[in-house]
Amino acid sequence: MSVSSLALAQTLLNGALLGCLFGSIALGLSVKWGHLGVADFFHLSLTLLGAYLTYSLVTEQLWDPLLTLLVTVPVFFVVGVAVQWLFLVLRAEPFTTLLITFALFIVTESVASMVWSPDLLNLRPRLSDGFTTSLRFPEPLPQLAVQPVDLLALVCAVLMVGVSAWALRRTRAGRAVQAMRQDADIARTLGVRVVPITLAVSGLAASSAAVAGMVVSLRMPLSPTLPLQWIGIVVVATMLGGLGRPLGALVAAVVLMMIQNAWSLWFPPQWAPAVTFGVLFLFLAAQPVRRFVSEATASRRLA
């Protein structure tokens, strides 16, 4: 391989792996938005909280980052259930839930600033070399390198998104969730227990934020306003992938990040966001997505 094609392969690889992280964040958003009708901006805040909790447990209790999941995942499950329970009690409409999740988004940013200070916190220097030394690809591509943290992001994304996609399509509960999305009343008469399933889905989505948050804390320096940097890519990936389709969101995030990196390799990087989202427009205008989107709109029309 020539130097430039190697560089391209490397940057595409990095983009794809970072896309996996954004895809894992988009997972919870996509499921809640698509199946529960909640455009949950608080999900981004939960991811940030997960990252900060991981940071604290690692630096103060000296836990292994992976072990922190034993605490954060169940705690976040409860939080997710509680928030959804609030929506159920309020019989909240989409606009109302949007406002509440925005409000919680603001509250979380301030809480993070109060508890962990507005300054940058970086977990990386505290990690052992096993986390930070990049791994070389085996022959025949020894020039390509990958960071263990990015591999962890890949594993988490593939596991979480894979399990969700499989569960939604193949399991009884998953099909019940699909049915609820079509029509909650009919689902109920067919014996689907809507309330427990709704609460559980919200709890699981929040748990996924705990996992994504752990990866975030290993991957980048933390600050309370970090979620504002993700909103663009995460929300666009969620919608582009089709609401309620975690796999679509993951693929979209990966593709968007790969486009961004490929552009930045040869052209002025400051135009990368415009190009990435511009390509998005072209892509939307193209035919292949039509099926995706028309399916989505058709199913909503049926409601």
- Nearer to another protein by Cβ, of 116 and 172: the residue is 116
CB of 80 to another protein, least distance (A): 16
- Nearer to another protein by Cβ, of 167 and 272: the residue is 272
Contact 265, 271 (CB under 8 A): no
CB of 289 to another protein, least distance (A): 8
- Nearer to another protein by Cβ, of 142 and 172: the residue is 142
**Mapping DSSP to helix (H, G, I), strand (E, B) and coil, where does residue 67 land?**
coil
Contact 247, 165 (CB under 8 A): yes
Contact 95, 34 (CB under 8 A): no
CB of 188 to another protein, least distance (A): 12
CB of 173 to another protein, least distance (A): 21
- Nearer to another protein by Cβ, of 161 and 239: the residue is 239
- Nearer to another protein by Cβ, of 71 and 137: the residue is 137
Q: Count Cβ neighbours within 10 Å for each residue of 10-48 and write b for 16 or more, e otherwise.
A: bbbbbbbbbbbbbbbbbbbbbbbbbbbbbbbbbbbbbbb
CB of 30 to another protein, least distance (A): 11
Long-range contact set of residues 273-282: C-beta below 8 Å, sequence gap at least 24: 273/232, 277/232, 277/236, 280/236, 280/240, 280/256
How far the first Cα of the chain sits from its last, in Å, is: 53
